[in-house]
Amino acid sequence: MMTNLLRLLTFIILLGSMGAPGMAQPKQEVWYHTGYPGGVGGPGSGMSALTGPTKMPAIFEAILRNRLVEPGQIHTDSLSVTGRASFAPPIDLESLRAVHTDRYLKALFTGEPRSLAMSQGLPTWNEKIAEGWLLNVGGLYAASETALYKRTITANLGHGYHHAAVNRGMGFCTINGLVVAAKKLIRQEKAKRVMIIDLDHHEGNGTAESILGEPRIWNVSIYGSYMGGPLSAENNHVFHVRHDALERGRKRDAHYLAIVSDVLPRLIRLQDPDLILYQAGMDPFDGAGISRNALAIRDAYVFSLCLSLDKPVTWVLAGGYADLNTLVELHTDTVRMANEVLRSVPPGSRIVHQRASAYEWVSRERVITFPSWKLLVEGKLEVHIPERMSGWAVQEFMSERERVLREERLPDDEIQSVYRRLFVGKSSP
């Protein structure tokens, strides 16, 4: 039934796009390296679907099997893709040191101390896993650079970023690739401002801690589960959705989508970023009882909004603890929606909201029609916005972060040699 609904959605969109002037936009490009970790065993469901070897390769294989992305748009080392594009090198050390402490990075590169190397909660450490983290963040950076350059939607089929803080991992997140990529693009003057939109069910606490007081990077986290990050601030926008206030089903879906569509347009306009990094978390499905259809239209909305405001987007996988088949369906919906939006939403389109079924959207002659989710809720939005930190409190937070970075600093030679040792006998970096 789900598939039928998606087909219907696709049909509606195609119908709509027939009338649109044929401005072909660059197609979606994806990055994936078979070395992304993974690779640590375990059954293919529940929490293990995230830590085990199964989730990322399964999504990648589903993209190939269903021909969702053309081979020439797939940046991978995988020999199963004939005509593939070149894959990304591992992320450079300088970009990692701009976000994480040397002591933490050394633990990730060497596995010692083991408790710090495994602070994200993975069951083991080895060099291959360590290398995989760097390939993963390298892929994310390459995807974001391409999105900016080609003004399109790109994806990195990796995960494990937003809980990683300055000097430790957490919640299966090891390196905060979102912040690493954003800071690198800014340092290279490829972007002036970057927005991180985080729609994982869990609050992006590591991201918030890493960017607080850095006005060029904004974090927007709409979550159902608080993870201990800092309060709101000028560049940290956090919204705790009270999902339980509404019964599961159409009402709860519409409520969630009403909040997303209430928050995002004004913040994107306010910051006016050059690029959006979108954490397309799928754990609202199992964590908050949001339906597959709602998550698909959420992603269609986010992509349409970004394109209508002329913002390129790079999206990544995140959260999702259902069985593997469900996870693959949820995540490949994001791939499909990015394709649909690129196909049917020409530049200069605008979004209108009209009373309609919660899950229908149409794009016709530069007008993208989404449902009036707020009207469907027929009540107030159940969302808690934490109070704002004072300027003084932000300063305190920043100096504490600086102190940790300083105190955990190692001599350049020492950190460079452990980084290079990971790649001894290999072609890069």
Residues of this chain that bind Zn ion (CB under 5 A): 200-202, 283, 319
| Cβ 223 to Zn ion shortest distance, Å | 8
- Give the nearest residue (CB) to Zn ion: 319
Q: Which residues contact 147 (CB under 8 A, 6 or more apart)?
A: 153, 154, 275, 312, 313, 314
Helix (H, G, I), strand (E, B) or coil at 230: coil
| Cβ 159 to Zn ion shortest distance, Å | 9
Strands 194-198 and 275-281: parallel
Could you give the CA distance from residue 61 to residue 157 in angstroms, rounded to a whole number? Answer: 11
Cβ proximity to Zn ion: between 131 and 200 the closer is 200
Cβ proximity to Zn ion: between 9 and 165 the closer is 165
| Cβ 75 to Zn ion shortest distance, Å | 26
Cβ proximity to Zn ion: between 35 and 284 the closer is 284
Tokens matching residue 207: 């991201």
Cβ proximity to Zn ion: between 201 and 336 the closer is 201
Helix (H, G, I), strand (E, B) or coil at 154: strand
Q: What are φ and ψ of residue 152, in 5° steps?
A: -140, -165
Cβ proximity to Zn ion: between 283 and 299 the closer is 283
Output the furthest CA–CA distance in the chain (Å, rounded): 63
Contact in structure between 218 and 299 (CB atoms under 8 Å)? no
Helices 412-421 and 102-110, packing angle to 10 deg: 30
- Length of the chain (residues): 429
| Cβ 162 to Zn ion shortest distance, Å | 8
| Cβ 319 to Zn ion shortest distance, Å | 3
| Cβ 130 to Zn ion shortest distance, Å | 23
Cβ proximity to Zn ion: between 102 and 200 the closer is 200
Strands 29-32 and 275-281: unpaired
Q: Which residues contact 384 (CB under 8 A, 6 or more apart)?
A: 239, 240, 242
Could you give the CA distance from residue 288 to residue 386 in angstroms, rounded to a whole number? Answer: 20
Helix (H, G, I), strand (E, B) or coil at 55: helix
Cβ proximity to Zn ion: between 273 and 319 the closer is 319
Tokens matching residue 319: 């959260």
Helix (H, G, I), strand (E, B) or coil at 170: strand
| Cβ 204 to Zn ion shortest distance, Å | 9
Cβ proximity to Zn ion: between 200 and 274 the closer is 200
Residue type, 148: L
Could you give the CA distance from residue 420 to residue 63 in angstroms, rounded to a whole number? Answer: 33
Place of tokens 């490829």: 190
| Cβ 225 to Zn ion shortest distance, Å | 7
| Cβ 207 to Zn ion shortest distance, Å | 12
Cβ proximity to Zn ion: between 165 and 341 the closer is 165
